Structures are given as structure tokens and as C-alpha cells.
Amino acid sequence: MDKVFVEGLEVLTTIGVYDWEKDIKQKLRFDLEMGFNTAPAAKEDDINKALDYATLSQVVTEFVAAHQFELLETMAERVAELIFARFAVQFVKVRLTKPNAIVNAQGVGVEILRTRKV
């Protein structure tokens, strides 16, 4: 299975369990990897047969910016569900990082892997 990926997609959103986090925007970084057969697009050099990562990035960015969750786990799960709903991918890996959430760490986060149910 071929893979299409988007690395380092940064989005400002409201996320967190603490009261002070509910009133501010914080940056989240997404690394997305999707299973997608790229052969038809490559054969015909046709964007309409490809997984359009620009469109995918825009869809994810708009969703994340418009929704508020407390947990990174919830955000990652909802992004995976969104990708399955909008794009014909076989699997999606979502690595979600919250930079600078801990003073002495570059970031914390979660990584999930979901496979399309048949």
C-alpha cells in the first residue's frame, strides 16, 4: 500500500483540560499518514485520481480551528474520523503534538493508527 503524508501541519485551536486553556488558542502540530493507491494518479498524471494533500490539509485545518476538545486523544480520533469520511484512504495515522505543553519538553502528544472498516 502506498502512503501519502502531510508533515508538520500547524493549527491554532482551543484545547486543554485546565480552565486557563479554554480561553486561549494553542498551536497543535499534525503529522498525517494515509494509505492510498497512488498508481492511477501516477499513471495518468491526474490530480483528480490522487489524494489531494492540499485539500486534505485545508479540511483538517478548518476542522481543528473550529472545534474545541479537552484531550489530544479526542482531537486525534476526530481528525481520523474526518479523514475517513472525506477521503478514500485505507488507513490513517495521526501523530498529534502539543508543543511546549511541558516546560522542559519540545512537545507532548499522541499517535493513533486507524484502519478503514470494511
* Tens digit of each residue's pLDDT (9 = 90 or more) over 76-87: 999 999 999 999
Burial class (CB within 10 angstroms; exposed 0-12, middle 13-18, buried 19+) of 8: exposed
The tally of domains found in the chain comes to 1
Per the prediction, the chain carries an average pLDDT of 96
pLDDT value for 117: 83
Q: What is the CATH number of the domain that holds 97?
A: 3.30.1130.10
Closest CA to 68 of 100, 32, 20, 25: 25
**pLDDT 10s digits, 51-64:** 999 999 999 999 99
The catalytic residues are: 98
Quick one: DSSP state of residue 118? -
Residue 100 has pLDDT above 90, yes or no: no
pTM exceeding the 0.85 threshold for the entire prediction: yes
Quote the domain boundaries for residue 64.
3-115
Residue 43 has pLDDT above 90, yes or no: yes
Burial class (CB within 10 angstroms; exposed 0-12, middle 13-18, buried 19+) of 19: exposed
